[in-house]
Amino acid sequence: MAARLALLLALALWAAAAAPALGAAQAHGRHRLLLQTTKALPQGSNSNASFAAPAEPGTSAVFDTPAAAEAANPVPAGQWESGGDTGAIYIYATLMKGGEVIGWSNKGDKDNGWTEDGWGTAVYNATSKSVELLPKCGIHDCKNAFCSGQVTTWDNKMLVFGGHGPDFGADITGFRSYDSGTGKITSTQMQSGRWYPTPVTLPDGKVLVIGGVAHNGQAGYFDNVKAGYFDNVKVNERDTYDNPTITVYDPATGDFSPDSRDMADQLEAAWPVHTYPHAMVSPDGGLWVSAGSSLVKYDRSGPTSFERVLDLPDRPHAPWSYPQTGQGVMLPMFPPYDKIEFLAMGGNVKDRATPETPASDKVHKIELTAGKDAKWEELENMPYPRVLGDAVTLCDGTIGVFGGGERGIAGWSPKPYFYRFKDGTTWDCKKLCTDVHDFLYAPTIFDPATNKFTPKGALAEHMRPRLYHATSILLPDCRVFVGGGDVSNDRTAELYSPPYLFKGPRPVISSVQDSIKPGESLEVSYTSTDPVTKALFLRTGSITHSMSFDHRSLWLTIASNANGKLTLTTPTYMVVILSNKGVPSVGKIVSVQPLGTTSSSSA
Which has the higher per-residue pLDDT, 8 or 131? Answer: 131
Q: How confident is the model at residue 304 (pLDDT cuts 50, 70, 90)?
A: very high
Residue 291 has pLDDT above 70, yes or no: yes
**pLDDT value of position 237:** 65
Q: How confident is the model at residue 102 (pLDDT cuts 50, 70, 90)?
A: very high
**pLDDT value of position 424:** 87
Least confident range of 239-248, 305-314, 345-354: 239-248
| Residue 184 resides in a domain | yes
Which pLDDT tens digit goes with each residue over 403-436?
Answer: 999 999 999 888 899 999 988 889 999 888 999 9
**pLDDT value of position 137:** 84
- What average pLDDT does the segment 282-297 reach? 95
- What average pLDDT does the segment 570-586 reach? 71
**pLDDT value of position 46:** 25
| Residue 586 resides in a domain | no
Residue 551 has pLDDT above 90, yes or no: yes
Residue 261 has pLDDT above 80, yes or no: yes
Whether 201 and 207 have beta carbons less than 8 Å apart is answered as yes
3-state SS, residue 18: helix
| Residue 25 resides in a domain | no
Reduced to 3 DSSP states, what percent helix, strand and coil does the chain have, rounded to the nearest 5?
10, 40, 50
Hey, which of 42-51, 141-150, 525-534 has the most confident mean pLDDT? 525-534
> What's the whole-model pTM score?
0.87
**pLDDT value of position 18:** 27
CATH number at residue 311: 2.130.10.80
> What are phi and psi for residue 485, nearest 5 degrees?
115, 90
CB atoms within 10 A of CB 67: 7
| Residue 10 resides in a domain | no
Q: Taking the chain, what is the end-to-end CA distance rounded to the nearest angstrom?
A: 15
**pLDDT value of position 112:** 40
- What average pLDDT does the segment 159-181 reach? 83
| Residue 70 resides in a domain | no
**pLDDT value of position 141:** 83
Percent of the chain with pLDDT strictly greater than 70: 80
Residue 602 has pLDDT above 60, yes or no: no
Q: How confident is the model at residue 264 (pLDDT cuts 50, 70, 90)?
A: very high
| Residue 227 resides in a domain | yes
Q: How confident is the model at residue 109 (pLDDT cuts 50, 70, 90)?
A: very low
Which has the higher per-residue pLDDT, 518 or 563? Answer: 563
Which pLDDT tens digit goes with each residue over 345-375?
Answer: 999 999 999 999 999 999 999 999 999 999 9
Q: Which has the closest alpha carbon to 174: 208, 145, 215, 149?
A: 145
**pLDDT value of position 121:** 92
Question: Sign (positive/negative) of CA torsion 79, 85, 90, 95?
Answer: negative
Which has the higher per-residue pLDDT, 297 or 163? Answer: 297
How far is Cα 260 from Cα 167, in angstroms, rounded to an integer? 27
How far is Cα 146 from Cα 118, in angstroms, rounded to an integer? 13
Q: How confident is the model at residue 529 (pLDDT cuts 50, 70, 90)?
A: very high
Q: Which has the closest alpha carbon to 524: 480, 586, 599?
A: 586
3-state SS, residue 76: coil
| Residue 35 resides in a domain | no
3-state SS, residue 410: strand
- Those residues whose C-beta lies under 8 Å from the C-beta of residue 597, and which sit 6 or more positions away, are 5, 517
Residue 5 has pLDDT above 90, yes or no: no
How far is Cα 430 from Cα 414, in angstroms, rounded to an integer? 8
How far is Cα 567 from Cα 472, in angstroms, rounded to an integer? 32
**pLDDT value of position 25:** 42
Least confident range of 30-39, 280-289, 381-390, 400-409: 30-39
- What average pLDDT does the segment 212-237 reach? 60
- Those residues whose C-beta lies under 8 Å from the C-beta of residue 561, and which sit 6 or more positions away, are 49, 532, 567
Residue 555 has pLDDT above 70, yes or no: yes
Q: How many domains does the chain have?
A: 1
Which pLDDT tens digit goes with each residue over 432-486?
Answer: 899 999 999 999 999 999 999 999 999 999 999 999 999 999 999 999 999 999 9
- What average pLDDT does the segment 129-158 reach? 90
How far is Cα 567 from Cα 584, in angstroms, rounded to an integer? 17
Least confident range of 32-36, 241-245, 398-402, 474-478: 32-36
Which pLDDT tens digit goes with each residue over 382-404?
Answer: 999 999 999 999 999 999 999 99
Which has the higher per-residue pLDDT, 431 or 73? Answer: 431
The whole domain housing 133 covers 79-502
